[in-house]
Amino acid sequence: MNALKSRVASPFAAIWVATFLLFVVSPFVASGSLSHAALQGMLPFAGILAVAAIGQTLVIQQGGLDLSVPGIFSMGAVLIVTIPGGNEGDLIPALIIVALVGLAGGLVNGIAVTRFGITPLVATLGSNAIFIGVVLQATGGSIAFKATKNWQTFTADKVLGIPILAVIAVVLTVLVALFISRTIWGRRFVLVGSSPLAARAAGLSVERYQLGAYAGAGLAYALAGALLSGYLQSPPLLPGNEYLLPTIAAVVLGGTALGGGRGSVIGTAVGVLFLSQLEQVISALGAKTSVEYLIQGAIVALGMGLRNVPWNQILPGRRGDVDAADTTSHDPANGNGRALLSEHKEEDSIDVSKT
């Protein structure tokens, strides 16, 4: 019973309930928003957004916020069509280059934050301008090629009637979730995001995990851009501009703590599904795109605002829990953080001090 109560009270549970209710209400509010054609048109774009949002989740779990989504996303989208130049035989090398460019872009962000101590917002905002400048310079302001036929075919394919882009998103989400929850490196990743001071005191290389988060995020953005190009066949010049706010909104909806530590890529994926279906309803009602932006912006603003609410004063019954959580997050000598690391050591007999 206690386990059930804890699951219901979980910060990740709300988005499941909200998404369920949205899908129940959708046919009554906007007829046709749950039709087969509507879902088949929505799921591919939801899958692309989910892939990009995985990267944003990793960064936010480390206490950052990545504003370079548009630049790295656009580089991936442009490179996957310009490198092959329509030649199907060059698709694999193009995909490898896209992955390397995404990793490099993420590493640039990570190095700026971890080595030079630049605030994540400033570092990623500046790098985003550089990445967009690279796209404009490399293309001359226009894209002369379409995605190769084999890439178009792959991204438009279906698995058991489900768009493959949605399937890819589900697979990646599950893999990342399992890595974070089932491996010692994933649990250390969460600990580093929750309390860098405690992690350092325990001998963990905080910078290494933060750098890995940014590198993984860059890879996710570039891959998402490449997938979009294949699906659209002829991508716009800067398609990533449409993905910055939704990735952050999805992470907030999914219950990931904007202060770092607690997070769920599965919750983020459900948040993506909520936003995508909400867009369907808004479009079916004939509302303007500005309404969607207003909702996304309100979600992000609400999520940021809730960080500063003194819950321990508003809800006295939770004071003990909050105080305990704060102690674990900010006291490097706290036994809870070390107990977690001790648990990890028992699992794989790894010497934490050498990490």
Is residue 134 in a domain?
yes
When divided into structural domains, the chain yields a total of: 1
- Mean of the pLDDT values across residues 87-114? 96
Does residue 339 register a pLDDT over 60?
no
Question: In this structure, how many other beta carbons lie within 10 angstroms of the beta carbon of residue 154?
Answer: 17
Q: Give domain status of residue 214, yes or no.
A: yes
The chain-wide mean pLDDT, for the chain, equals: 85
In a domain, 17, yes or no: no
Going along the chain, which residue ranges are E strands? 158-159, 162-163
Tell me how many degrees the CA angle 281-283-287 measures, rounded to the nearest 5.
Answer: 105
pLDDT tens digits, 203-261: 999 999 999 999 999 999 999 999 999 999 999 989 999 999 999 999 999 989 888 88
pLDDT band at 120 (very low <50, low <70, confident <90, very high): very high
Q: What are the angstrom distances between the C-alpha of 253 and each of 82, 247, 338?
A: 35, 10, 30
Read off the pLDDT of residues 129-176 as tens digits, 9 standing for 90 and up. 999 999 999 888 888 889 999 999 999 999 999 999 999 999 999 999
pLDDT computed for residue 287 by the predictor: 73
Q: Let me know if residue 297 belongs to a domain.
A: no
Is residue 271 a part of any domain in this protein? no
10 confidence band (pLDDT: 50, 70, 90): low
> Is 54 part of any domain?
yes
Where residue 29 falls among pLDDT bands split at 50, 70, 90? confident
Beta bridge partners of 159: 162
Residue 339 lies in a domain: yes
List pLDDT tens digits, range 195-206: 999 999 989 999
**Residue 290 and residue 215: Cα distance in Å, rounded?**
32
The whole-model pTM stands at: 0.84
Above 80 in pLDDT, residue 352?
no
Compute the distance between CA of residue 227 and CA of residue 165 in angstroms, rounded to an integer: 8
Question: What would the mean pLDDT of 265-289 be, rounded to a whole number?
Answer: 88
Three-class DSSP category at 158? strand
Residue 315: pLDDT over 80: no
- Separation between Cα atoms, residue 191 and residue 187, nearest integer Å: 6
For residues 100, 64, 70, 288, the Cα torsion angle rounded to the nearest 10 degrees is: 150
pLDDT band for 317, please (50, 70, 90 cuts).
low
Please give the pLDDT value at position 334.
43
Q: What angle do CA 48, 54, 55 make, to 5 degrees?
A: 105
Q: Which DSSP string corresponds to 246-283?
A: HHHHHHHHTT--TTSS---HHHHHHHHHHHHHHHHHHH
DSSP 332: T
Region 108-130: mean pLDDT is: 96
Instruction: For 192, list phi and psi in degrees, rounded to 5.
Output: -60, -40
Domain of residue 77, residue span: 43-241+321-354
Residue 305: pLDDT band with limits 50, 70, 90: low
Tokens for 272? 């993506």
In a domain, 254, yes or no: no
- Residue pair 256/2 in contact by the 8 Å Cβ criterion: no
The whole-number average pLDDT for the span 335-346 is 47
